[in-house]
Amino acid sequence: MIKSMTGYGRAAGKLSDLNVEVEIRSVNSRYLDLKIRQPSDFSYAEEAVRSCIKAGISRGKVDVFVKISQATDAKPQITVNKEVAKAYYEALDDLAFSLRIDEAVKLSHILKYNNVLTELSSIDVLSEDEVKASLSEIAHAAIADFNKMRLLEGENLRQAILAMCENLHVSLAHVKDLCKLQGDIYIERYKTRIEELLKGADISTIDESRILMEAAILVDKSSIEEEVVRMDSHIEQLELMLDGGGVTGKKMDFLMQEMNREVNTMGSKADDLRITELVVNMKNDVENIREQVQNIE
């Protein structure tokens, strides 16, 4: 199945007592343009997230938002530096003795110093490997959600393009029918024109076979049969790509350039109002398909 380059996906999870959310948004782009925004405290995990995203996305302008916040029900983790507390106690007790202050050192005196008790955050207790593994898992879930939307949009694009391909088939079939009649019509037209130019002249000296040969050359120059055959082949190739799926957007884009070239050549060579009208319709369908193809990965 084909995928659209436009999509949105989200996944959330827990990392110790942290809430983690990964959000992915994308629009069409010629290449993969990937930007990741996440808290600077976890910048070391960016490459792990980037690898996950690149494994699931080939093209598009992709913005990834990694949000990390403390859970409201998180229990604080407190550590006691007993060695520091003991040193403060001994220093205060010695100071009281030196100053002949008859007062015992209390716990409240020691707790005035900030480095006796320390509140640890999850950042302090989590290893880098734990963070990378957790963020990668949540990023994979976000990509899965993201690709669901892209596949759905891709199927809508496929159906729309196939409908326009059917229009091209119908128009091209009419062009083929008209082309079969064009040879005889052109030759008869040229013969009539030559007869008008030679009115009053001695036509017994004119080689009719030469006139027919010259008319045939002119008809061949204005023939669009080759363009019709190539256009037919291009449409079939496009339909195969749509049914085959995969990352085919660039190939389709190139194919649309070739289809546009064939239609333009038909329009410049065709010398029939009915064919010209059909070519105008085909040019419109080709342009519409080209716009849709710009959104395919």
Chain-centroid distance of CA 265 in Å reads 31
In this structure, is residue 120 part of a structural domain?
A: no
Give the lowest-confidence range in 10-24, 70-84, 233-247, 251-265: 70-84
Note whether 229 and 93 are same-domain residues.
no
pLDDT above 60 (res 252): yes
d(CA 89, CA 114): 14
Query: What whole-number distance in Å separates Cα of residue 165 and Cα of residue 252?
Result: 13
User: Does residue 103 share a domain with residue 226?
Assistant: no
> Considering 95, 115, 135, which residue would you say is the last residue of a domain?
115
Q: How far apart are CA 53 and CA 136, in angstroms?
A: 9
Q: Are 146 and 182 part of one and the same domain?
A: no
Query: In a 3-state reduction of DSSP, which class is residue 168?
Result: helix
* Coil, strand or helix at 77: strand
User: Is residue 38 pLDDT above 90, yes or no?
Assistant: yes
Q: 203 with 143, same domain?
A: no
Q: In terms of domains, do 156 and 265 share one?
A: yes
Judge if 194 and 272 occupy the same domain: yes
User: Is residue 87 domain-resident?
Assistant: yes
- What tokens appear for 124 in the block? 């302090």
Q: Judge whether 157 lies within some domain.
A: yes
Contacts of 39 (CB under 8 A, 6+ apart): 66, 67, 68
Check which CATH number belongs to the domain holding 160 and give it. 1.20.140
Domain count within the chain: 3
Higher pLDDT, 71 or 165: 165
More confident residue, 188 or 295: 295
Average pLDDT over residues 158-162: 96
By the 8 A CB rule, do 82 and 110 touch?
no
Same structural domain, 255 and 157 = yes
Reading the block at residue 104, the tokens are 């015992």
Residue with the bigger pLDDT between 140 and 271: it is: 140
Q: Give yes or no for residue 76 having a pLDDT over 90.
A: no
> Does 201 score more than 70 pLDDT?
no
Residues 144 and 156 occupy one common structural domain = no
pLDDT at 232 over 70: yes
The dihedrals phi and psi of 230, each to the nearest 5 degrees, come to: -65, -40
pLDDT given for residue 218 in this prediction: 60
How far apart CA 244 and CA 147 sit, in angstroms, is 17
Whether residue 103 is found in the same domain as residue 64: no
On whether both 192 and 251 belong to a single domain, the answer is yes
Which 8-state DSSP code applies to residue 153? H
- Is residue 23 scored above 70 in pLDDT? yes
Of residues 175, 178, 168, 196, the one with CA closest to residue 284: 168
Same domain, 104 and 191: no
pLDDT, tens digit (0-9, with 9 covering 90-100), for 47-69: 999 999 999 999 999 999 999 88
Q: Does residue 248 fall inside a structural domain?
A: yes
Per the structure, the complete domain to which residue 104 belongs is given by 82-115
| Cβ atoms of 17 and 24 closer than 8 Å | no
Residue 1 lies in a domain: no
Pair (156, 281) in one structural domain: yes
Strand-by-strand arrangement of the 60-70 sheet: 7-15, 18-27, 60-70, 32-37
Mean pLDDT of the 264-290 span: 90
Mean pLDDT, residues 216-223: 63
In a domain? residue 160: yes
Asked whether residue 79 carries a pLDDT value surpassing 60, the answer given is: yes
Q: pTM of this prediction?
A: 0.71
The 10s digit of each residue's pLDDT in 85-133 is: 899 889 988 888 888 888 888 888 888 888 887 765 666 667 889 889 9
Q: Please report, for the domain that includes residue 17, its CATH number.
A: 3.30.230.70
Q: Is 294 exposed, middle or buried (CB count within 10 Å of its CB: 0-12, 13-18, 19+)?
A: middle
Which pLDDT score is estimated for 183? 61
Could you tell me if residue 121 is inside a domain?
Answer: no
Q: Kindly indicate the confidence band of residue 139, based on its pLDDT and cuts at 50, 70 and 90.
A: very high
Please report whether residue 185 resides in a domain.
yes
